[in-house]
Structure 1
């Protein structure tokens, strides 16, 4: 499913009107009705429910007027509170307010017909509050009186349904504009917006429903829209098939260059993850202690030790020799980042010709010598968490976290795939950006990123291109965590490895 920004949604609305004669008044009518239908689907019989509909002066408020009118078809217990200036309403919103009043509906204006204390009492008495205060076009911090109303909504409401977006959320980032509604359900129209997918907006949306309101499908699926959600159907279509008449060579060879005496476990996790997604042959180049642990953990790993407990420039020739037979390479997990390691990393990576996943200390080496990126010839996937991406870009963490625009710019500049990890992981490539919604807080643990890099490499080794492998791996990585049956957060990283096969089975079935 595609994901749109404010500007892209406005362009779609414009095309609907100018090229197909689908007027905004019709879309507003269908939007309001879709909210009511979503409420009915969620609650069943709503004839005995009481509603409070809060409407602002933008088109979001116009949708709210339609919601209030349609709710009156089910119940008499509907109160509408208008916040704003009627003279600033769009023609469509004015018309829908007139229709609502013509029905004899209870419509009150904030400050004139109802004060904050009375509104608080209404909120307490209402079973369901419909938030149609602010829409997708809001900019800047929320001001009075709406900020005060949002505070009351969050304090006293039993159940909140937001129209299109929770009021107070910046649509293109998911950030809070001072204060925002905490919705239990959000009904958006046509396509999900970025704010529905990125935190804190994603959490404030509650349950998200995407309603079809008559926007032509080819517009919703346009190739001009470069961002989309990773779905099970997409991953199923990408995953390589396994044939009965096959052998280890059929499923690729992966080389993992990782680990040190300080961090031996990272090499084990990355190597085992590549095998878990189906890689046929796994070579590990690491320190002697890490190799010993890896073979003990999984004898199927073909391990070769360097002469020291850390990588140095002397290991470059051996690493490049082993890479000649590989279909994919991972470099970085647990490798450390000292001067010797950076020397090795640079000599190896600029001479490598195989697809490579750069993770952890590999990213730290790049941050120390960013000019290396200009010399890399091989297809590249970078898998930074926000701290690593901040170091790469020499920015603050809060500037890069969930920043899909920066990830896209970096991807285009260096022709790489960027997997920006987080509660919503972003996969940015020159061909588009993908948002992953699978996973849970069990992944907030050391080593799970090493598992992800191994999974990506294991899929690349089986013939997938680096973008498709990254998209598939982040989805499976999240599903695997969701398959953990005990209390969320208590999963060991090693247990995540054992859940990868069940995640693949779920997707393939």
Structure 2
């Protein structure tokens, strides 16, 4: 599903009118009706429910007037409050306000017909508050009186439905502009916006419903919109197919270059994850005694250990020889980053002949010399968390977290795939960007990133290109965590490995 910026949505709205002859008034009418239908779908019988519809001075408020009018087809208990200057309403919004008044609806204006204290009582007594105060494109911090109204909604409401976006969110970042509505459900129109998937906005949206309001499919699926949300249907098309008449060579060979005496577990997690997604043959180059640990955990791993606590530059010859018998490589988990491993890493990168996933300490080594990337001709996937990406681009963590533009710039500059891990993981490629929404807080622990790196390389080894392997693996990684169910604590990283097949089965079915 495509996802749009504020500017892209404005262009779509303009094209609806100028190219397809669909005026804003029709879209507003359908938007309001879609909110009511979504409420009915979510809450069931609403004939005895009471509603408070809060409308701002923009087109979002116009949608709210339509919502109020359509709600009156279900129940008599609808109160509408205009927060703002009626004289500043657009033509479409003013028309729908007039229609609402024409049917005898209870319409009040804050400051004239109702005080803030009286509004607080209305919020407390309503079963549902509809937030149509501010839509997309607001700039700067929310000001009074709307800010005061939003405080009342957050403090006293029972259930909140936001129209298009929760009021107070910056559309293209999900940032809170001083204050924002915390919705239980958000109904957006045509396409989701970036604030719906990027934190903190994503958390304030509640359940997100995307309503079709008559925007032509041609516009919604335009190739000019290069960002999209990963869906189960998308992943199902990517998953490598397994046939009965096959053997280990049918599903690719992976080389994992990882581990050290100080960090033995990462190599094991990465290796088993690659096997779990279906790769047929896995070699592990590591340091003693990690090889013994790996084989004890999974005897199917073909392990070779160097006789050092960590890799040194001379070990690169062993790695390059093993690379000859691999279809894809992952380097970095638990490898450590010092002068020895940095030299080892640079020698590997200078002689790469197979697609590579660079994770963890591989990324830390890479940060010391990004120009290596310009000399590599094979596909590269980088899997940084915000701290690692901050080191790669020379910025602080707050500047890179959910910074999709920065990830896009980096991917295009160095011709790589960037998997920027977080609660919403961003996958940036030269062909576009993907947003992953699967997962939960069980993934917030050491080792889960090593699992993801193994899943990506395991997909690449089976013939999936770097972009699609990243999309598929990231989705399955999050979905695997969602399959964990326990009344005691959160999932162990080792348990995540065992849940991967269940996630794959869910997607396949």
| Deviation, structure 1 residue 369 | 2.2
Shift of 1:376: 2.3
Distance change in 2, residues 1:489/1:201 (3 Å): farther
User: d(CA) in 2 for partners of 1:490 and 1:206?
Assistant: 23
Q: CA distance change for structure 1 residues 156 and 506 in 2, over 3 Å: closer, same or farther?
A: same
- Using the TM superposition, name which of 332-341 and 81-90 deviates more: 81-90
SS where residue 398 of structure 1 aligns? helix
Q: Give the Cα–Cα distance (whole angstroms) in 1 for the partners of residues 456 and 233 of structure 2.
A: 18
Match of 1:73 in 2: 73
State the match for 1:369 in structure 2.
369
| Structure 2 CA distance for partners of 1:472 and 1:489, relative to 1, 3 Å | farther
For the residue of structure 1 that corresponds to 2:54, the secondary structure is strand
**Equivalent in the alignment of 2:479:** 479
What does 1:107-506 align with in structure 2 at a 5 Å threshold? 107-487=107-487, 490-506=490-506
Local SS of the residue matching 1:117:
helix
**Once structures 1 and 2 are overlaid, which stretch shifts more, 365-374 or 326-335?**
365-374
Q: What TM-score, normalized by structure 2, do the two folds share?
A: 0.99
SS at match of 2:187: strand
Instruction: Determine the C-alpha separation between the residues in 2 that align with 1:337 and 1:498.
Output: 30
CA–CA distance in structure 2, aligned partners of residues 110 and 267 of structure 1: 62
CA contact 1:50–1:77 (8 Å) conserved in 2: yes
Give the match's secondary structure for 2:367: helix
Q: Which residue of 2 aligns with 1:17?
A: 17
CA displacement, residues 379-424 of structure 1 (integer Å, 9 cap, x when unaligned):
1000000111111111111111111111111100000000010111
SS of residue paired to 2:335: coil
Deviations 1:78-137 (A, max 9, x none): 111111111211110011111111112111111122111111011011111000000011
CA-to-partner distance for each residue in 1:258-316, whole Å, 9 max, x for gaps?
00000010000000000000000000000011111111111110001113121111111
SS at match of 2:19: helix
SS of equivalent residue, structure 1 residue 20 = coil
CA shift, 1:45, in A, is 1.5
Q: Residue deviations 1:356-377, cap 9 Å, x none?
A: 0000000111112223222222
- Pair 1:13–1:184, CA change in 2 (3 A): same
Structure 1's unaligned 5+ residue stretches are none
> Offset at 1:489?
5.3
Q: Within 1, Cα distance between the matches of 2:394 and 2:113?
A: 53
Q: How does 1:39-118 map to 2 (within 5 A)?
A: 39-118=39-118
Structure 1 Cα separation of the partners of residues 44 and 359 of structure 2 = 49
Separation in structure 2 between the aligned mates of residue 488 and residue 463 of structure 1, nearest angstrom:
39
Secondary structure class of the residue paired with 1:405: helix
The answer to whether the 8 A contact 1:350-1:377 is kept is: no
Scaled by the length of structure 1, the TM-score of the pair is 0.99
Q: Which runs of 4+ in 1 moved over 3 A?
A: none
Structure 2 SS opposite 1:491: coil
Distance 1:400 1:291, change over 3 A: same
Query: How far apart, CA to CA, are the structure 2 residues paired with 1:430 and 1:168?
Result: 32
Give the C-alpha shift of residue 36 in structure 1: 0.7
CA distance in 2, matches of 1:292, 1:102: 80
In the aligned structure 1, how far is the partner of 2:357 from the partner of 2:153?
Answer: 47
Maintained 8 Å contact 1:261/1:289: yes
The DSSP-based 3-state class of the residue aligned with 1:283 is strand
**Structure 2, unaligned runs of 5 or more:** none
Question: In structure 2, do the counterparts of structure 1 residues 381 and 31 end up closer, same or farther at CA, with 3 Å as the change threshold?
Answer: same
Provide the rounded CA distance (Å) in 2 between the counterparts of 1:120 and 1:376: 62
Q: How many residues align?
A: 509
Report deviation, 1:65.
Answer: 0.6
Secondary structure in 1 aligned to 2:30? helix
SS, match of residue 282 in structure 1? strand
What per-residue deviation string (whole Å, max 9, x for no partner) do you get for residues 323-371 of structure 1? Answer: 1121100000000000010011011112102100000000111112223
Q: Secondary structure at the match of 1:241?
A: coil
